[in-house]
Amino acid sequence: MIARFRHVAKWYGAVIGLVDADVEIGPGVTGLLGPNGAGKSTFLKLLTGQLRPSQGEVRLLGANPYTTAAVHGRIGFAPEPDAFYEDWTGRAFVTFLVRLHGFGRAEAARRADEALDAVGLSDVAGRKIRTYSKGMRQRVKIAQALAHDPEVLVLDEPLTGMDPLWRRRLMDLLKKLGARGVTVIVSSHILHEVEAMTDTFILLFQGRVRASGSRGEIRAFLSDVPHRIRVGTPRPKDLARALLDLPGTLAVRLDDEGVSVETTAPDTLFDTLPALVLDRELPVTELREADTDLDAIFGYLVG
Amino acid sequence: MRTLQGLFLVARHAFAGVLKGRRAVALLLLAALPVGLAFLQVRFANIVTASNFMAVVLLGYFQVVVPFAGLFLGVSVLGDEIEGRTVSYLFTRPVPRWAIYLGRLVGSLAGFSLVFAGSVVLCTALYRGRAVVRWVEAGAAVGSGLLGLLAYGSIFAALRIVLERALFIGFLMGAIVEGAISKMPVSGLSKCSIWHHMALLQTRTTRVAHPKLREFLQGLGPEETVEGSLWVLAGIILVAIKAGVWLVRTREIRVPAAVA
């Protein structure tokens, strides 16, 4: 396990930042999802040792990140605030921060150039950061987090303000890093962005971890919420009639291309459906769970 | 090794940052104040003596420039990084927080010292055109002033870790402790002020007689020596730095939320 939150709470005076977070984070890409104010930044600051838990314990790579400076050598962090040493060039900024990891001047400069190149800023590396666009500034933040080859990469809302092209490229880069064995923890309030990068999530709402795990695991966990299953067929009326007789079926909605079933017993439906369509000689063009997308799961979780 | 390298890099970064931003303008104006006074005096006064220079040192530098510069220095040590919300970049590196704090204190002090020393040298050069002011007096002023600057700076730097409004509170504290309390006619109370020890170092190591200085010297007991004041200032500096290091290690430092 790369990181572990054990019943962690964080209060800012009377304001609640995080309540009883008890989650584990493993290798690969993990999406930290939640609307603004859900506690994502607090979660990431606790994870990277910038904040101390009011209660509970945070472990990162086996150490307490708040008290163990050495563990920071193995992580890269891109904060959410749009804050820089504005009069510095992108290259100087990244080189300075890489040097704090103990690298010599030449090695740090080489790593900074590589990281800036990876985020497409080679051409403007010699320009002052104050002249950068919002998207470029986001990419500098990512470059400084990447440049020392961290084992754990923690990015707080990294895609905010990026143009669609770089949004896509960065998502690909993070996926590649995840596949290479880097643990990437990326926060966002935009579901489809995170969904495009990973299948493993931590869902936060009002300071509470509402769910964590893979999409399927989280959906399965919501056993009391009816599942929506989409079955495509050119004969929706016949299929609907057959599905209504199945135990657990709550509702069937028809359209020209098929039916959407709401059921409390999805396993029964999947088990029975092959025999049912064969008996009635119903052609099936599509079969999928329609509410395992994050939007739907999130909707269920936060009401 | 990584800690030392980090401390050095952060110090260099802080040094370079001293002469940037609005605070730098305030610092330069502050440092220019006694130089401006010296210029006016040298240019327009009929008689200019070395004791005029001493008055500028004791009243201009030690009572105004050093405390205010110390206040600016102290609050900028971590304050600049916190208010600029760049502290996250530093605190997520494998360099202990105390090393970052010390690095910024040392770097900022070096920058402020250069401005302060430059101002005293310029002032001395102006007076030397009209009166017998020895460089040793200027050296004593720089040395005493730098000790005072470090004392004030380390106190206010530690204060800034605890208080967000350290500039305001530091100003009040300076005015109360250095201004009001130290001037009260109560025996021994004046020794509580940093000004007292800076002035003692200056007066005991120079030969210039100024009415203010003579009055000050008459009030000194035989036990008040240069060594004693050096120990007091060193003690204040060490305790304040230790307190700052302890606070930065134990106290959570929060980045203020962005202003929409």
Q: Is B186 helix (H, G, I), strand (E, B) or coil?
A: coil
| List of chain B residues whose C-beta atoms are within 8 Å of the C-beta of residue A73 | 2, 93-94
Residue A287: pLDDT above 90?
no
Cα separation, B98 vs A253, in Å, equals 64
DSSP state of A253: E
Nearest to B93 among A72, A79, A81 (CB): A72
Return residue ranges of chain A for CATH 3.30.70. 223-292
Q: Is A15 on the interface with B (CB under 8 A)?
A: no
Q: Is A12 on the interface with B (CB under 8 A)?
A: yes
Q: Is B22 on the interface with A (CB under 8 A)?
A: no
Backbone angles phi, psi at A288, to 5 degrees: -160, 155
Would you give the distance in Å from CA B122 to the centre of its chain? 18
Residue B259: pLDDT above 60?
no
Between chains, do A72 and B90 touch, taking CB under 8 Å as contact?
no
Q: Which residue of B has its CA nearest to A145?
A: B89
Mean pLDDT of A69-98: 95
CATH superfamily of A3-220: P-loop containing nucleotide triphosphate hydrolases (3.40.50.300)
Q: Which residue of B has its CA nearest to A100?
A: B6
> How confident is the model at residue B54, as a pLDDT?
85
Cα separation, B101 vs B96, in Å, equals 9
Residue B224: pLDDT above 90?
no
Which has the minimum average pLDDT: A35-49, A50-64, A68-82, B196-210? Answer: B196-210
pLDDT range class, residue B260, cuts 50, 70, 90: very low
Chain B nearest-CA distance from A48, in A, is 7
Give Rg (Cα) of chain A: 23
How many Cβ atoms sit within 10 Å of the Cβ of residue B256? 11
Best of A58, A100, A129 to mutate (most B CBs within 10 Å, chain B) = A100
Cα separation, B203 vs B197, in Å, equals 10
Chain B nearest-CA distance from A196, in A, is 28
Mean pLDDT of A280-293: 80
Per-residue pLDDT tens over the stretch A131-189: 999 999 999 999 999 999 999 999 999 998 888 889 999 999 999 999 999 999 999 87
pLDDT range class, residue A56, cuts 50, 70, 90: very high
Mean pLDDT score of chain B, rounded to an integer?
86
0.90 exceeded by the pTM? no
Per-residue pLDDT tens over the stretch B78-91: 988 998 899 999 99
> How confident is the model at residue A222, as a pLDDT?
65
Nearest to B88 among A73, A77, A85 (CB): A77
pLDDT range class, residue B47, cuts 50, 70, 90: confident
Residue A221: pLDDT above 70?
no
Nearest to A70 among B20, B88, B94 (CB): B94
User: DSSP letter string over B195-259?
Assistant: HHHHHHHHHHT-----HHHHHHHHT--TT--HHHHHHHHHHHHHHHHHHHHHHHHHS---PPPPP
Per-residue pLDDT tens over the stretch B20-40: 777 788 889 999 999 999 999
Cα separation, B61 vs B169, in Å, equals 21
> How confident is the model at residue B245, as a pLDDT?
96
Chain A nearest-CA distance from B167, in A, is 22
For strand A29-33 and strand A183-188, is the pairing parallel, antiparallel, or unpaired? parallel
Q: Is B214 on the interface with A (CB under 8 A)?
A: no
Helices (H), A17-89: 40-47
Q: Which residue of A has its CA nearest to B258?
A: A81
The CA dihedral of B201, B202, B205, B210, to the nearest 10 degrees, is: -140
Per-residue pLDDT tens over the stretch B54-72: 888 888 999 889 999 999 8
Cα separation, B81 vs A98, in Å, equals 18
ipTM entry: 0.85
Mean pLDDT of A21-27: 94
Calculate what percentage of chain A has a pLDDT beyond 90.
59
Mean pLDDT score of chain A, rounded to an integer?
90
For strand A152-156 and strand A75-78, is the pairing parallel, antiparallel, or unpaired? parallel
Per-residue pLDDT tens over the stretch A243-258: 888 888 888 999 988 9
> How confident is the model at residue A292, as a pLDDT?
65
Q: What is the CATH number of domain A223-292?
A: 3.30.70
pLDDT range class, residue B184, cuts 50, 70, 90: low
Chain B nearest-CA distance from A295, in A, is 27
Return residue ranges of chain A for CATH 3.40.50.300. 3-220
Q: Is A23 helix (H, G, I), strand (E, B) or coil?
A: strand
